[in-house]
Amino acid sequence: MKEYWTALASLMGTYAFVQSIINSLLPPEFRHSAGKFSARLFRYFSSYCYYDIAEVDGVSTNDLYNAVQVYLSGSASVSGTRLSLTRSPNSSAFTFNLSNNDHLLDNFNGAVAWWEHRVTQRQSQSFSWRPTSDEKRSFTLKIKKKDKPAILPAYFDHIMESAAEIRRKSKDRLLYTNSRGGSVDSRGRSWESVPFKHPSTFQTLAMDPVLKDEIIADLREFTDGKAFYESTGRAWKRGYLLHGPPGTGKSSMIAAMANHLGYDVYDLELTEVNTNSDLRKLLMKTTAKSIIVIEDIDCSLELTNRSSGEKKKAAAPGKPAGQNSPEEAAPVRTITLSGLLNFTDGLWSCCGSERIFVFTTNHVERLDPALLRSGRMDMHIFMSHCSFPALKILVKNYLGSRDDDGEGEKKLWMELEEVIGEAEMTPADISEVLIKNRRRGRRRALEELLQALKGRAEERKAAPAKKMDAGDEVEVIGEAEMTPADISEVLIKNRRRGRRRALEELLQALKGRAEERKAAPAKKMDAGDEAVVVEEEKRELESPEHGGENNAQLSSMGAGNASKEENVSKEENAQVLTV
């Protein structure tokens, strides 16, 4: 053993002596060239190739470095021996990362990849407008040369996709709202967020099971349809219109969709957006895999009637400049329905992918037809009053489920099934009754619910619909000036809601149209125009071709024909109403 150490010491001394002679005799340029040649020779005979992935690429962060860090965190939790543990904001899980200068093995398509996390101290601190770390971090990938054509670049694509999926699963969903006026907040962000913790799911959502299954299947086809949308040349988006009376679960439906898909929710408040440009900037900053919600769109600004804004601008033409009221001094809102539609279905729809637009309204008949066509709102979902299948779901949610109901409870269920359709109570009203009585026992709560349903049904029967005589009907129809096609459309949309409810909706539509016509006064002629018209009529009457008597007869006949046409129009509308 002593001879071994003696030989090793002499060998090291000889090496140091030779190196000192080379450094003193050979110029630095030659030594540098020799070093490069030896390194190149080593790489040529080596069976591995290396890839360095730095944390910072110039002045920007390297997204691939972050993706590799997230991707390796899943493998590190299983096969790693020395790990660093972190938990990021808005996350409900811990993250396992490689420690400094540690390594890890990964397999892809039968090939082995060696990963090493390198951390070194920076030699010099260069000038930068933003602070930089004193440490230089990077990942080094080592693979065999023979495996390079088989796994690259597919391996890096796999890393990016896996990292995105890991981030989505580990991060809690967020609920975003836009800043006031569409501007950025104090931290330079146009969206403010809070953790989204809504417990609603499709299992607890009270609605028709058949319709629920259709919605779930449609969502599944959307999330799995990337190849379909690319092959057909369509933007990867989907539009849903939720309409129905208040309290029927439209907001709960949105929460159930977000929890089912794992998407973030962007609650867009249109009243806080001033221009179409601000709207585009907001929507461009939304992320993929998100649901963009606009609630009560029929009440958002003047989006229901694109011509109303022009009528309002034409008012008060004689008002001097500079004498504006406080309301007029406020920032002018020029956002239009066309600006919103251009992003949901126009050229701007390709700026984001895998996004869902959800609009809600209590009065679908008030919406502009351009918003309802296919391609913008792909699926119209009517959230109706509580049905018997939905009632079963509510009872299960609030009172629990039983495998075997007694005879008395079965009788209660039969009575509930008979009265639920006549009462027309919303799921919110029924939930309130169950919450108030859930501590009094299951049977007592069902009895109280039955009494509430019977009471609501009796109230509806005791309050007959307000009937109009023929004169009032003709008067409302005449003032509204709705075409038979418009009236038919309202009746078709509401025919499944019962005769009484359909007539009520039609009456509201007629009154709304009549009020719109009254609010837009007819264009009046000034004194000069009236004088010209009177002069022309006078010349016609005094002309030799038309005698005064003949003209009087023609005038009487014209008035009679106009009266007949008006009566015929009113009779046609009245017939449509009767149908």
What the block records as the tokens of 485 is 């096609």
Lowest mean pLDDT among 166-175, 238-247, 330-339, 556-565: 556-565
What pLDDT is recorded for position 29? 80
More confident residue, 513 or 226: 226
What pLDDT is recorded for position 20? 82
Lowest mean pLDDT among 32-41, 109-118, 347-356, 448-457: 32-41
Q: Specify whether the CB–CB gap between 485 and 369 falls below 8 A.
A: no
Q: What span, in angstroms and rounded, lies between the C-alpha atoms of 78 and 464?
A: 71
What pLDDT is recorded for position 346? 72
Is the pLDDT assigned to residue 112 strictly greater than 50? yes
Lowest mean pLDDT among 90-94, 201-205, 364-368, 502-506: 90-94
Residue 325 buriedness (CB in 10 A; 0-12 / 13-18 / 19+): exposed
Of residues 197, 189, 351, 175, the one with CA closest to residue 264:
175
Strand positions, DSSP E, 461-504? none
What the block records as the tokens of 2 is 């002593």
What pLDDT is recorded for position 140? 93
What pLDDT is recorded for position 549? 46
Q: Specify whether the CB–CB gap between 279 and 179 falls below 8 A.
A: no
Is the pLDDT assigned to residue 210 strictly greater than 50? yes
Mean pLDDT calculated for residue range 252-280: 91
What element of type H or E holds 138? strand 135-144
Is the pLDDT assigned to residue 565 strictly greater than 60? no
Q: Is the peptide bond before 153 cis (omega within 30 degrees of 0)?
A: yes
Of residues 335, 226, 231, the one with CA closest to residue 288:
226
Of residues 91, 47, 94, the one with CA closest to residue 74:
94
Identify the bridge partners of residue 136 per DSSP, sorted by sequence position: 120
Mean pLDDT calculated for residue range 365-391: 87
More confident residue, 439 or 90: 439
Is the pLDDT assigned to residue 306 strictly greater than 60? no
Of residues 141, 160, 142, 170, the one with CA closest to residue 63:
160
| Confidence class for position 517, pLDDT limits 50, 70, 90 | confident
Of residues 348, 346, 345, 347, the one with CA closest to residue 359:
345
The strand pair at 264-267 and 237-243 is best described as unpaired
Of residues 290, 264, 288, 283, the one with CA closest to residue 353:
288
Q: What span, in angstroms and rounded, lies between the C-alpha atoms of 41 and 270?
A: 66
The strand pair at 191-195 and 95-98 is best described as unpaired
Is the pLDDT assigned to residue 150 strictly greater than 80? yes
Of residues 246, 354, 333, 347, the one with CA closest to residue 295:
246
**What pLDDT, in 10s, does the model give residues 282-297?**
888 888 889 999 999 8
State the angle between helix axes of 484-494 and 499-519 in degrees (0 to 180), rounded to the nearest 10.
140
3-state secondary structure of 253: helix
Is the pLDDT assigned to residue 464 strictly greater than 90? no
Residue 503 buriedness (CB in 10 A; 0-12 / 13-18 / 19+): middle
Is the pLDDT assigned to residue 470 strictly greater than 50? no
Token pair 């039955």 is at which residue? Answer: 450
3-state secondary structure 376-419: CCCEEEECCCCCHHHHHHHHHHHHCCCCCCCHHHHHHHHHHHHH
Q: Specify whether the CB–CB gap between 258 and 214 falls below 8 A.
A: no
End-to-end CA distance of the chain: 114
Q: What span, in angstroms and rounded, lies between the C-alpha atoms of 433 and 452?
A: 8
| Confidence class for position 132, pLDDT limits 50, 70, 90 | low
What pLDDT is recorded for position 357? 93
Mean pLDDT calculated for residue range 192-197: 88
| Confidence class for position 404, pLDDT limits 50, 70, 90 | low
What element of type H or E holds 48? strand 48-54
| Confidence class for position 131, pLDDT limits 50, 70, 90 | very low
Is the pLDDT assigned to residue 258 strictly greater than 90? yes
Q: What span, in angstroms and rounded, lies between the C-alpha atoms of 12 and 18?
A: 10
| Confidence class for position 316, pLDDT limits 50, 70, 90 | very low
More confident residue, 401 or 449: 449
Q: What is the mean pLDDT of the chain?
A: 77
**What pLDDT, in 10s, does the model give residues 215-254?**
999 999 999 998 998 898 888 999 999 999 999 999 999 9
What pLDDT is recorded for position 447? 92
